[in-house]
């Protein structure tokens, strides 16, 4: 029966893998992908990682923590040798690998192969809003691997030795590396709760806690081993404390359950609460504490939903009743002789689905880019000699960097951590016509504005005689200032002197 069980597990694993490879594939249209590609090209061609910003005119020369440099190099090399198709396939493989590790963790709870596959698929649907060609997918898969190593390390402690090199790779791939020490700490605190409540003897918990403490210290000591050095210690905290990032970037918003995109996530929450309520055996503290941590994080920001999935799905699977040996044996005897044919047909169909989806996404990549970004306007800028400082719409900033650098510089782009709250507020002030929006354009000597036609600032500038539309289509409008830059500076200086005179007169 064991051979049959392994065979069935392999079939479910193969079917699940093929399905995930197709499900998780997405077009390469993430707004941040483009400046990642340009950064990767910059690193490959110059031979070193940038420590100051080369791409904008607002932060040119300012310190920049390039914490995703290794991901950027990988993305650029993939693009250089395989185009966007290679990026699409690679991102799908990385994401599917994270879910397959989740599936393996679910198999620890008895003969529930089909339930493990179904629960993993549900977890994939729940985290779908976060899929894409982006460095964050490295964090998802590495968290999945870390959880597998921690759980397996209770019985095979030697596996834990692979965590430090894994963490060293992680901290050079993505800023989400901070989840590693956070989960190690949560696991250890949960274990302490177990011993304090008398559920786990201290003699049993002590060696596990010592290993976790040692791993935590080693991982923290490894953080400076990156091009930015010890600055990376503060980066995760600066990100979490930034009001601009958390109010300006959509993936930092809380999930909106009114949107159908988040209904699978809501279903997952309901299943989790049901599992915790009806399960005969309560989850251990080492499970509950990390679960509480990621549960709050997932409700706080959409980007944390995949991490919640990795912790919640095994809890749901553990609450299911284990299938009896007698039932398994009877199922074996009732197996149809046509099962191999059926399984083979399913595998072939799923493999075909995955291949067709990859080809289709690759074929429609250019059309999707045109839907998301101002392709024609960018082409116009590349073919003409326009002012070099361009106020580009935030979601288009990275695309402009990829297509227009080094001839043009942007006002802001997706690197919100670089620009800070003040510049992000200035961008919002301009696009929403808040008080002082015109002064910001003058202060930065901006002579070109590239925004959607429906944007408020586009409508306002079209009414001003010193601005005119040099290019316009349904996607974007490029507005140029008729007044030359030196006259802008003179007018701004006169305005400042006038304000000073008024203040002196009032005194």
User: What are the pLDDT digits (tens) for 264-278?
Assistant: 999 999 999 999 998
**What pTM value is reported for the model?**
0.89
Beta bridge partners, 392, equal 450
* Domain ranges across the chain: 84-323, 370-506
In this predicted structure, what is the pLDDT of residue 322? Answer: 65
Token pair belonging to 491:
């007018």
Model pLDDT for residues 106-145, shown as the tens digit of each residue: 988 765 788 889 999 999 999 999 999 999 999 999 999 9
Q: Which of 5-14, 163-172, 190-199 has the highest mean pLDDT?
A: 163-172
CA-angle at 247, arms to 306 and 58, nearest 5°: 110
Is the pLDDT at 281 greater than 90? The verdict is no
Mean pLDDT computed over 2-26: 78
List residues bridging with 472 in a β-sheet: 477
pLDDT (0 to 100) of residue 405: 94
Q: How confident is the model at residue 347 (pLDDT cuts 50, 70, 90)?
A: confident
Condensed to tens digits (0 to 9), the pLDDT of residues 200-230 reads: 899 999 999 999 999 999 999 999 999 999 9
What is the layout of strands, in order, in the sheet containing 467-472? 409-410, 389-392, 448-451, 477-481, 467-472
pLDDT score at 282: 84
Instruction: Name the average pLDDT for the chain.
Output: 88
pLDDT of residue 458: 95
- In sign, the C-alpha dihedral spanning 302, 304, 306, 309 is negative
In this prediction, residues 303-331 reach a mean pLDDT of 78
> What's the pLDDT tens digit per position in 178-204?
999 999 999 999 999 999 988 889 999
Structural tokens at position 108: 């620890």
Inform me whether the pLDDT recorded for 498 exceeds 50: no
Alpha helices in 56-161 (DSSP H): 69-106, 113-126, 136-153
> In the prediction, which pLDDT does 242 show?
74
Q: What is the pLDDT of residue 279?
A: 81
Confidence of residue 505 (pLDDT cuts 50, 70, 90): very low
pLDDT the model gives residue 345: 84
Average confidence (pLDDT) over 152-158: 90
Residue 327 has pLDDT above 70, yes or no: no
Measured CA to CA, the distance from residue 153 to residue 147 in angstroms comes to 10
Range with the poorest average pLDDT among 49-53, 453-457, 487-491:
487-491
Omega into 406 within 30° of 0, i.e. cis? yes
Per DSSP, the three-state class of 227 is coil
Q: What is the 3-state secondary structure (H, E, C) of 410-461?
A: ECCCCCHHHHHHHHHHHHHHHHCCCCCHHHHHHHCCCCEEEECCCCHHHHHH
User: Mean of the pLDDT values across residues 480-492?
Assistant: 62
- Alpha-carbon span 151 to 143, nearest angstrom: 12
Residue 311 burial (CB count, 10 A): 24
Q: What is the pLDDT of residues 52-103, one digit of tens each?
A: 999 999 999 999 999 999 999 999 999 999 999 999 999 999 999 999 999 9
How many Å is the maximal CA-CA distance in the chain? 99
How high is the pLDDT of residue 7?
64
**Model pLDDT, residue 288:** 95
Amino acid 252: pLDDT:
86
Predicted local confidence at residue 493, as pLDDT: 56
Per-residue confidence (pLDDT) for residue 335, from 0 to 100: 54
Percent of the chain with pLDDT over 70: 88
At 1, is the pLDDT very low, low, confident or very high (cuts 50, 70, 90)?
very low
Residue 249 pLDDT greater than 90, yes or no: no
Say whether pLDDT at 393 is over 60: yes
Give the residue from 76, 114, 119, 92 showing the smallest Cα distance to 18: 92
Per-residue pLDDT at 311 exceeds 70: yes
Token pair in block for residue 201: 């003897």
Least confident of 264-273, 375-384, 477-486, 492-501: 492-501
Instruction: Answer for the pair 127, 312: CB distance below 8 angstroms, yes or no.
Output: no
Q: Is the pLDDT of residue 343 over 80?
A: no
């Amino acid at each position: 029966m064991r051979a049959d069980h392994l065979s069935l597990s392999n079939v479910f694993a193969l079917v699940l893998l093929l399905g995930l490879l197709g499900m998780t594939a997405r077009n390469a249209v993430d707004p941040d992908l483009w400046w990642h590609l340009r950064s990767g090209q910059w690193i490959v061609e110059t031979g070193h990682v940038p420590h100051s910003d080369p791409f904008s005119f607002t932060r040119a020369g300012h310190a920049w923590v390039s914490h995703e440099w290794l991901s950027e190099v990988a993305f650029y090399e993939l693009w250089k040798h395989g185009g966007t198709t290679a990026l699409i396939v690679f991102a799908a493989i990385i994401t599917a690998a994270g879910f397959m590790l989740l599936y393996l963790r679910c198999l620890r709870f008895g003969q529930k192969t089909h339930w493990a596959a179904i629960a993993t698929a549900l977890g994939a649907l729940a985290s779908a809003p976060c899929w894409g060609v982006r460095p964050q997918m490295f964090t998802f898969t590495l968290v999945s691997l870390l959880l597998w190593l921690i759980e397996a390390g209770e019985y095979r402690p030697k596996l834990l030795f692979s965590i430090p090199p894994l963490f060293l790779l992680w901290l050079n791939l993505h800023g989400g590396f901070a989840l590693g020490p956070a989960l190690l700490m949560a696991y250890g605190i949960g274990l302490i709760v177990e011993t304090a409540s008398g559920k786990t003897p201290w003699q049993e918990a002590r060696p596990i806690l010592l290993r976790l403490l040692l791993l935590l210290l080693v991982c923290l000591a490894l953080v400076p081993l990156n091009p930015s050095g010890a600055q990376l210690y503060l980066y995760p905290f600066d990100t979490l404390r930034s009001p601009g990032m958390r109010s300006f970037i959509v993936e930092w918003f809380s999930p909106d359950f009114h949107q159908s995109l988040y209904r699978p996530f809501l279903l997952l929450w309901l299943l989790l609460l049901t599992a915790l309520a009806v399960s005969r055996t309560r989850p251990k503290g080492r499970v509950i504490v990390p679960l509480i941590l990621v549960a709050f994080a997932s409700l706080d920001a959409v980007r944390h939903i995949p991490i919640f999935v990795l912790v919640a799905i095994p809890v749901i699977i553990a609450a299911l009743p284990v299938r009896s040996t007698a039932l398994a044996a009877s199922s074996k005897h009732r197996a149809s002789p046509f099962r191999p044919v059926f399984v083979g047909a399913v595998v072939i169909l799923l493999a075909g689905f995955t291949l067709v989806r990859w080809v289709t996404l690759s074929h429609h990549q250019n059309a999707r880019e045109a839907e998301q970004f101002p392709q024609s306007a960018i082409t116009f800028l590349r073919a003409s000699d326009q002012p070099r400082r361009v106020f580009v719409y935030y979601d288009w900033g990275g695309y402009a960097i990829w297509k227009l650098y080094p001839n043009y510089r942007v006002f802001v782009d997706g690197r919100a951590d670089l620009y800070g709250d003040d510049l992000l507020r200035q961008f919002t002030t301009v696009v929403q016509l808040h008080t002082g929006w015109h002064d910001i354009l003058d202060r930065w000597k901006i002579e070109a504005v590239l925004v959607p036609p429906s944007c408020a600032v586009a409508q306002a500038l079209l009414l001003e005689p010193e601005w005119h539309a040099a290019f316009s289509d349904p996607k974007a409008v490029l507005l140029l200032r008729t007044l030359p830059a030196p006259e802008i500076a003179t007018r701004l200086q006169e305005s400042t002197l006038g304000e000073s005179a008024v203040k002196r007169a009032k005194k």
